[in-house]
Amino acid sequence: MKTKKLVSTIWCEGCSGCHMSFLDMDEKLVDLIKNGMAFSATPFTDLKIPPHGTDIGIIEGSVATDTQEEEVKMMRERCKIIIAMGDCAVFGGIPTMRNRYETTEIFSRAYKQAETNYNQHLPAGEDISKLLAKVKPVNEVIKVDYYIPGCPPTPEAIYEVLSKLIEGKTPELKGKLLSYE
Amino acid sequence: MKKFKINSVEYSIDTEKTIFEFLKDIGIYIPTLCYHPYLRPVGSCRVCIIKDRGKFKNSCATFIDDGMDIETHTPELIEIRKWILQFLFSERNHYCMYCCVTNDCEFQNLGYYTGLDHFHFPTFRNIFDIDNSHPYILFDNNRCVLCSRCVRVCSEVAGHFVLSENNKGEHSIIVADNGVQFGKSSCTSCGLCVQVCPTGTFVDKYSMYLGRSWETQKIRSYCFSCPVGCGIEIYKRGNNIVKIYSDWNSFTKGLICYKGRYETVINYRKYKNKTNIDIYEDLNKIIKNVDENSVAVVDGTLFNEEIEKIRELFPNTFALYKVNPKILDNSISFDELDNYQTYIIAGWDLNKEYGTIGSIIKRNKYYRNCKVIYLDNEKFEVSGKTIFIYKNYYDPNFISGFIGGMDCDHLVLPLNTNDVGLLKLIGNKTLQEVDNLKYSSIFIFSRYLNINISNIISRFRRKFLFTIDINRYSDLFDEVFPIVSEFEINGSFYNLFNQLLYVERVFDKEVV
């Protein structure tokens, strides 16, 4: 009996579309599980912290807050292979649109000038994460081993990478599997 | 005879050729970005890099020499090309999912070709302002890869010299007129920069998000908006024109002006689904009996076939010109326009009308140091082979006063697209010469009526008009019939160089 490959995913500054695309593998998920994939901490299992020695860590979304920075570093410590999944994790994506502006400007627009905002209070408290000055792709914070670009990546691309990794091969995205949009 | 090796295979040629051209001929693909087949190579992007006897060279701008030993696809070269692309990708805003040209982008395709799946370097370092001031074109330096295709096409081909590069290094940007807003610059909106841009830096506002090139059907045709008749490519999707590009392989060699590229598209969308009469097919059904009191008047905005049909139906057919066309027999060809040393221009603006002829004159002035004379200058001297270019509706006495006895060629610019064809088919029989007491009904046929006819028609008792814009003249006429646009019929017309050009039907006419 083969040993199970533990897969863990987290969701940073993104829209969860990549996780939806992950679930969109449908019956191929069963294939992967039959071939030896097992989930540890993921939004699907509602667990937050993967165990040490997890085989594959998948990160969706860019790094925009100090909490996300810590989470991403935690993933690197606990996982042997890190995959950046989706355009936000790979390139920075839509959240980098705010890099044009200062964080104070962004807060002011969202919590003070917004047409639907009547209280005009900035959110405050120790529990709330701090915005980083710039939104960064994951590879600016930690070392990333494999990249699956796409907004979202197709289920076929995710399957290609995971199935190759479970077999112990090096995945490579080519042709229609490689897409920036 | 030059002998050289490519990937250890020996070749020899006699002619001067760049390495890239030769590789293309023998079927070896090298990725390129700044190279464009109709522009002079500059070798600025370095994506087409190859190795010759240990030295890296760009294949698009290096000519083949004796003894070369060229490598094209070693692992080292593939890796270098990938790195060059990474530098370009990470320098500016190349996030494909929020760009309107995604999936229809040369730069993006290069990324896919090289298998680029991430950037090594931090992105979005310099942020430039987006220029939305131009009526037809959106201009965003953040997506620019500085290939300078737009700068080259604006000067070498179009002769406008509006675009240039400014600043240095990563701060380099493309600017119009050395830094004024694009919409306030001297841009004539020929749109060639949009056509050659490999990224989304220059984008047509009227065609964005309406369909990518591969989702559209491409139809080669000729522009019907002025008598030059430039070769165009119409990109059609469903019942809409997505965009019109100039045809590099036509007799005008890629030249076009704002009328052909933008105004025809806007006009087509304006009148789409509102007109349904094809003169060639439907006129018999509408007009059953023509009595001898009726007179038909045709102008140059109709195709030859339509004019013939009307002439068949009406025994009394007259032509409508702005002024009496005594001279419309231009004998020079489009290509010969490049051969003159002095251009004399009367009564028209190089940038606003007959833009393609304007482009030729402007680029010859710069590259061949030709003399361009406007006839409002009182005194002038001509030198070399001279051509006199003027509208046929310019005051003829004024022109003959200037050119009396001067040895020069003539190019007469008619007002309407098919005025030459109209002259061939109907001749000088114009409405001004008609005995107006003889006729009581008048039928005017004009796709885009642009000659003032209110004085003429007031003498007739019953007045009918066949035109595309039925609302504009409805109060002057008893009845106005909507005729289809130039894209909904097969037809032919003569351009001002006496060439017979055929226009293919792009859309079936709508049943209203």
Instruction: Report which of B78, B42, B77, B57 is spatially closest to residue B4, judged by C-alpha positions.
Output: B57
Q: What is the pLDDT of residue B253?
A: 92
How many Å lie between the alpha carbon of A2 and the closest alpha carbon of chain B? 31
A98 touches chain B (CB under 8 A): no
Q: Domain-by-domain residue ranges, chain A?
A: 5-96+133-177
Q: What is the pLDDT of residue B394?
A: 61
- The amino acid sitting at B153 is V
Q: How many whole angstroms from its chain centre is CA B112?
A: 31
**pLDDT reading at A107 higher than 70:** yes
pLDDT at B278 over 60: yes
Longest dimension (CA), chain A: 61
Cβ-nearest to A99 among B118, B119, B124: B124
Rounded to an integer, the average pLDDT of B162-170 is: 92
The Cα of B107 is separated from the nearest Cα of chain A by a number of Å equal to 12
| Per-residue pLDDT at B385 | 82
Of the CA atoms within 13 Å of residue B211, those in its CB half-sphere come to 17
Q: Which two tokens stand for residue B235?
A: 């990109």
A151: amino acid identity, one letter: C
Report pLDDT for B375. Answer: 76
Task: Look at the domain B2-73 and name its fold.
Answer: Ubiquitin-like (UB roll) (3.10.20)
| Sign of the Cα pseudo-torsion (A161, A164, A170, A173, in order) | negative
Cα–Cα distance between A89 and A68 in angstroms, integer?
Answer: 12
Residue B246 to chain A, least CA–CA distance (Å)? 29
- From the list B330, B382, B380, B340, the residue with the least C-alpha distance to B360 is B340
The region of weakest confidence among A78-82, B196-200, B471-475 is B471-475
B78 contact A CB<8A? no
Residue numbers in A near B112 (CB within 8 A): 178-179
Q: What percent of chain B has pLDDT over 70?
A: 93
Would you say B82 and B114 are in contact if contact means Cβ atoms under 8 Å apart? yes
Q: Which CATH superfamily is domain A5-96+133-177 in?
A: NADH:ubiquinone oxidoreductase-like, 20kDa subunit (3.40.50.700)
Q: For B17-75, how does the pLDDT look when each residue is reduced to its tens digit (9 = 90+)?
A: 999 999 999 999 999 999 999 999 999 899 999 999 999 999 999 999 999 999 999 99
Q: Of B96, B103, B117, which is closest to A173 when you measure between CB atoms? A: B117
CB of B117 within 8 Å of a chain A CB? The answer is yes
Strand-pair partners of B240: B237
**Res B476: pLDDT:** 84
Closest chain B CA to residue A152: B97
8 A C-beta contact, residue B235 and residue B217: yes
Cβ pair A92:B117 closer than 8 A: no
| Residue ranges of A 23-42 with Cβ closer than 8 A to chain B | none
Identify the residue whose tokens are 């289809």: B484
- For B279-322+420-492, the fitting CATH number among 3.40.50, 2.40.50, 1.10.3470, 2.60.40 is 3.40.50
pLDDT at B437 over 70: no
Residues in chain B within 8 Å Cβ distance of A93 = 95, 97
Asked if A148 is an interface residue toward chain B (Cβ–Cβ < 8 A), one would say yes
Compute the distance between CA of residue A11 and CA of residue A58 in angstroms, rounded to an integer.
9
pLDDT of residue B303 exceeding 80, the answer is: yes
Structural contact between residues B224 and B486, judged by C-beta atoms closer than 8 angstroms = yes
Please tell me if residue A5 touches chain B, with a CB cutoff of 8 Å: no
**CB of A176 within 8 Å of any CB in chain B?**
no
Give pLDDT, residue B472: 82
The whole-number average pLDDT for the span B304-318 is 89
Q: Give the rounded distance of the alpha carbon of B454 from its chain centre.
A: 33
User: In chain B, whose CA is at the least distance from the CA of A93?
Assistant: B95
Nearest to B127 among A100, A174, A178 (CB): A100
**Cβ of B128 under 8 Å from any chain A Cβ?**
no
Whether the predicted pLDDT of B393 surpasses 90? no
pLDDT of residue B377 exceeding 60: no
Mean pLDDT, residues B133-152: 94
Beta-carbon separation of B102 and A181 below 8 A: yes
Each domain of chain B, given as residue ranges in start order, spans 2-73, 106-204, 213-272, 279-322+420-492, 335-413
User: Residue written as tokens 């002024």?
Assistant: B323
Q: Tokens standing for A119? A: 């209280």
The count of CB pairs under 8 A between chains A and B is 58
Minimum-distance CB partner of B97 among A137, A173, A180: A180
The CA–CA distances, whole Å, from A120 to A115, A123, B189, B197, B466 equal 10, 9, 46, 45, 63
B123 closest CB neighbour out of A91, A147, A178: A91
Please say if the pLDDT value at position A1 is more than 60: no
What would the pLDDT profile of B82-106 be if each residue is shown by its tens digit? 999 999 998 888 888 888 999 999 9
User: What span, in angstroms and rounded, lies between the C-alpha atoms of B98 and B209?
Assistant: 12
Q: What is the mean pLDDT of residues B408-426?
A: 87
B122 touches chain A (CB under 8 A): yes
Using CA of residue A28, residue A30, residue A34, residue A37, what is the dihedral sign? positive
Min distance A98 CA to chain B CA atoms (Å): 11
The mean pLDDT value of chain A amounts to 91
CB of A91 within 8 Å of a chain B CB? The answer is yes
Quote the ipTM score. Answer: 0.90
Residue of chain A nearest B122, judged by CA positions: A140
Which chain A residues are within 8 Å of B98, Cβ to Cβ? 94, 97
| φ, ψ of residue B215 in degrees (nearest 5) | -90, -5
Please state, in angstroms and as integers, the Cα–Cα distance from residue A158 to each residue in A41, A91, A172, A179, following that order.
Answer: 18, 17, 11, 12
Across residues B280-306, what is the average pLDDT? 85
Ranking A170-179, B34-43, B176-185, B472-481 by mean pLDDT, the lowest is B472-481
Beta-carbon separation of B115 and A151 below 8 A: no
Residue B127: its chain A contacts at CB < 8 A? Answer: 99-100
Architecture of domain B213-272 in CATH?
A: 2-Layer Sandwich (3.30)
Radius of gyration of chain B (CA): 27
Question: Averaged over B399-417, what is the pLDDT?
Answer: 77
Contact B123 A180 (CB under 8 A): no
Average pLDDT of the residues in B466-481: 85
* Average pLDDT for B386-393: 77
Residue to test with chain B: of A62, A63, A90, A91, most B Cβ within 10 A: A91
Task: Give the number of other Cβ atoms within 10 Å of residue B38's Cβ.
Answer: 15
- Per CB-CB distance under 8 Å, the chain B contacts of A180 are 95-97, 102, 108, 111
Which class is B106-204 in CATH? alpha beta
| C-beta separation of B497 from B330 below 8 A | yes
pLDDT for B431:
72
Nearest residue in A to B114, CA atom: A174
Whole-number average pLDDT of chain B: 88
Per the CB < 8 Å rule, is B122 touching A136? yes
Q: Do A91 and B95 touch (CB under 8 A)?
A: yes
Q: What H or E segment, with its residue span, contains residue A60?
A: strand A54-60
CB of B98 within 8 Å of a chain A CB? The answer is: yes
In percent, the amount of chain B with pLDDT more than 90 equals 53
- Distance (Å, whole) CA B384 – CA B407: 10
B residues 269..288 contacting A (CB < 8 A): none
